[in-house]
Amino acid sequence: MGNSGQIGTYIRPSTERQDDQHQRDSINSYIEEEGLPRDHVEQYVDIESGSSDEREQFNELLDAIKNDDVDHVVVWEISRISRRGATLQEFFDACEEHDVTIHITDGAVEKVKPDGQGRFVADIIGMVYQQERRQLIRRVKAGVKRAKDQGKWIGNVPAGFRRDDDGYLQPIIEPEDGEDSYFEIENAIQRLEGGDSFRSVAKSLSISRQGLTNIYQDDERRQWYLNARAEDDRVDDALDEIDIGEQR
């Protein structure tokens, strides 16, 4: 690579929960092995998904490339740049047009040069990543549909309920720390019906005042607690599992 030229490093974890330290270590080791001065390095870091083009740091790096402010880009692997084929091609084209070499520290291709060397393999890798993403989306959608068809609860669990080990909704009878029982929410809704303020009612609950307001203002959901009945069969089945009359 040589010892001159501005270097842009790009880092993006796969998810917000993942640590990017392994990417940083790999990139730093590469730069050290190449003998590059640290004052020539500009870091760009995003946490947004690689399927999104609304990544602030990625777009800043792309602008730097197009403005001829970057001579080399160092990334951990190609999928960190993007999992969208069109975006990846735009990035490759910009680097090629502005004489920027892409260095991949962990991948089947090590460099994509402005003269086209490594571009063919990088294009294939990009297509593989895109196909893997499509397959993942299909699997997730199929899994969600299958779970819903089985009556399992998908998404955020409503107040006063929990999801059991099999994925089915259950009313909370004996709450743990940070939980409100079904009957506490029921009592809260009844107090609101009686004219108590949201602020005073929410004080005794783990749920926020806004969360309580959202329940009360939702006509259908409010009936879950006032009448122990729901149009959603998953909720209705959960309420049928306990003898509401005896618990009250």
3: confidence class by pLDDT, cuts 50, 70, 90: very low
Each residue of 95-136: pLDDT tens digit?
A: 999 999 999 998 778 899 999 898 888 888 777 777 776 777
User: Does residue 42 contact residue 70 with C-beta atoms inside 8 Å?
Assistant: yes
**Sheet of strand 41-45: strand arrangement:** 41-45, 7-11, 72-75, 101-104, 111-112
User: Does residue 100 contact residue 73 with C-beta atoms inside 8 Å?
Assistant: yes
- Tokens 């080399």 appear where? 72
* Measured distance CA(155)–CA(139) in Å, rounded: 17
Portion of the chain with pLDDT greater than 70, in percent: 90
Q: Which residue has the higher pLDDT, 51 or 218?
A: 218
Whole-prediction pTM? 0.53
Look at residue 245 in the predicted model and tell me its pLDDT. Answer: 46
The per-residue pLDDT of the chain, averaged, comes to 85
203 has pLDDT over 50: yes
Give the number of other Cβ atoms within 10 Å of residue 231's Cβ.
Answer: 10
Residues whose CB falls within 8 Å of the CB of residue 105, separated by 6 or more in sequence, listed in order: 26, 27, 29, 30, 74, 75, 76, 77
Each residue of 43-99: pLDDT tens digit?
A: 999 986 656 667 899 999 999 999 999 999 999 998 898 888 888 899 999 999 999
* Measured distance CA(185)–CA(56) in Å, rounded: 42
